[in-house]
Amino acid sequence: MSFFKFIFSKTFLIQIVIAIIAIVVLVFVAMHWLDDTTNHDQRIEVPDLSRLSLDIVDKKLEEMDLRKVILDSANYNPDFPRYSVIEQTPEAGKYVKENRKIYIKLNPSDYPKLEIPKFKRITKRQVTSKLLSLGFEIGDISYKPDFAENAVLELTYKGKPLKAGDKVRKTAKIDMVLGDGTQNYNSVN
């Protein structure tokens, strides 16, 4: 039997028709299966969760068949209530499918406590830039007799002396005691 006779034979043509029908049926079944399992065309609008407490967020997301994932807390924001949502992904108004995870960041209870850097006998300018970069505020500046002018002798917070390594709340007002340069170095020894 030659190749062309085999291609146009009844057996071969029946096999081709069966194969085409099988492919069409498989594609049809696969498309319906994908529509059912991927919830095609399903749209749930993400609610605005900002400023809501965790209990209310849980109820709201459960009603909408959505899940929450809490990410590490963000920086404290005094404009938001404590332990409320300050950021969410996806954003409010976006559309998602059921059982989608909504990632949220909560507002901590207060500013974090930060370590006071080394400051003894360092210039006012250096200590000021270190404290400001950490998020502290500079309070009152007073002077004390010392041979080093504008050298930081002491830091205080609410009247209590601080030492390097002490932890103080971010945004705290730190008072400085500086040397005034009036004392003679030889008289110190």
Domain 113-188 has CATH 3.30.10.20: yes
Whether the CB-CB separation of 123 and 176 falls below 8 Å is answered with no
Stretch 86-110: mean pLDDT, rounded? 91
pLDDT above 60: residue 147: yes
44 against 72, higher pLDDT: 44
Q: pLDDT per residue over 3-58, tens digit each?
A: 778 788 888 899 999 999 999 999 999 999 988 888 777 789 999 999 999 999 99
Could you report the per-residue pLDDT of 153-166, keeping only the tens digit for each?
A: 999 999 999 999 99
Q: Would you place residue 77 in the very low, low, confident or very high pLDDT band (cuts 50, 70, 90)?
A: confident
User: Which residue ranges make up each domain of the chain?
Assistant: 44-106, 113-188
CATH code for the structural domain at 44-106: 3.30.10.20
For residues 60 and 181, which has the higher predicted lDDT (pLDDT)? 60
3-state SS, residue 82: coil
CA dihedral 180, 185, 187, 189 (to 10 degrees): 120
44-106 and 113-188 have identical folds: yes
Q: What is the pLDDT of residue 58?
A: 93
What is the number of other CB atoms lying within 10 angstroms of the CB of residue 141?
13
CA–CA separation, 155 and 120 (whole Å): 9
